């Protein structure tokens, strides 16, 4: 068990409308210094499908896709004790501060990528932000019960939220 401080800064700008929160970066993501760096994680494939664009391959392409679709990306946990990449091993989790994102960006909807992210958001961040978050099935390869096709169907709501216009008309932030 190793105590790790989150090494990746949040990705957002003043045009971000949707915030997707993971739990904590995997070993591969920490090595790559960018989100969803494990080649078996289906995040980029699923998100590209719901946004109807090519799957980004490089970090600059991933950043560009997120910015072009007004999507902010970060993780719920700011530091924790963890073994490898397993969410199930997370102990002593301390949350990230979402205030800079929520003050800068026009976040209208928050999604959590997986049950761990959602559970920790509910416990640590919802009371501070006052914002609800929608739980989505994890894109992690550990979530083998969900095929890419099933993930895409459920994750389509991210694309709808990113492309919608008037804030607040669908129970958003």
Q: What is the structure's pLDDT at 84? A: 84
Looking at the predicted structure, is the pLDDT value of residue 167 above 80? no
For residues 41 and 137, give the distance between their C-alpha atoms in angstroms, rounded to a whole number: 12
Q: Which of the listed CATH numbers 3.40.50.1950, 3.40.50.300, 3.40.720.10, 3.40.470.10 matches domain 2-163?
A: 3.40.470.10
Q: Which of 98, 103, 105, 104 is nearest to 133 (CA)?
A: 98
Alpha carbons 95 and 125: distance in angstroms, whole number = 7
Residue 44: its H or E element: helix 43-51
Per-residue model confidence as pLDDT tens digits over 5-30: 999 999 999 999 999 999 999 999 99
pLDDT in tens, 132-165: 999 999 999 889 999 999 999 999 999 899 877 5
> At residue 171, does pLDDT exceed 60?
no
Tell me: pLDDT of 170 over 60.
no
Domain parsing of the chain, residue ranges = 2-163
More confident residue, 82 or 165: 82
Least trusted range by pLDDT, from 42-51, 91-100, 104-113, 157-166 = 157-166
Q: What is the mean pLDDT of residues 88-109?
A: 94
Residue 77, helix vs strand vs coil? strand
pLDDT tops 60 at residue 172: no
Average model confidence (pLDDT) for the chain?
A: 92
Identify whether the C-beta of residue 107 lies closer than 8 Å to the C-beta of residue 72: yes
Close Cβ partners of 138 (under 8 Å, ≥ 6 residues apart): 113, 114, 115, 116, 117, 146
């Amino acid at each position: 068990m190793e105590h790790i401080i989150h090494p990746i800064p949040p990705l957002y700008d003043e045009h971000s409308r949707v915030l997707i929160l993971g739990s904590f970066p995997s070993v591969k993501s920490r090595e790559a210094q960018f989100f969803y760096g494990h080649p078996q994680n289906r995040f980029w494939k699923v998100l590209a499908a719901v946004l109807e664009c090519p799957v980004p391959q490089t970090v600059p392409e991933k950043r560009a896709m997120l910015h072009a679709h007004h999507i902010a990306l970060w993780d719920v946990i700011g530091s924790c004790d963890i073994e490898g990449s397993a969410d199930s091993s997370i102990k002593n989790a301390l949350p990230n501060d979402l205030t800079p994102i929520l003050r800068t960006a026009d976040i209208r909807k928050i999604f959590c990528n997986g049950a761990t992210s959602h559970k920790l958001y509910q416990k640590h961040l919802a009371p501070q932000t006052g914002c609800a978050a929608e739980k989505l099935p994890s894109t992690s390869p550990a979530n083998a019960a969900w095929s890419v096709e099933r993930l895409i169907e459920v994750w389509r709501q991210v694309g709808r939220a990113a492309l919608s216009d008037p804030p607040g008309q669908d129970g958003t932030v």
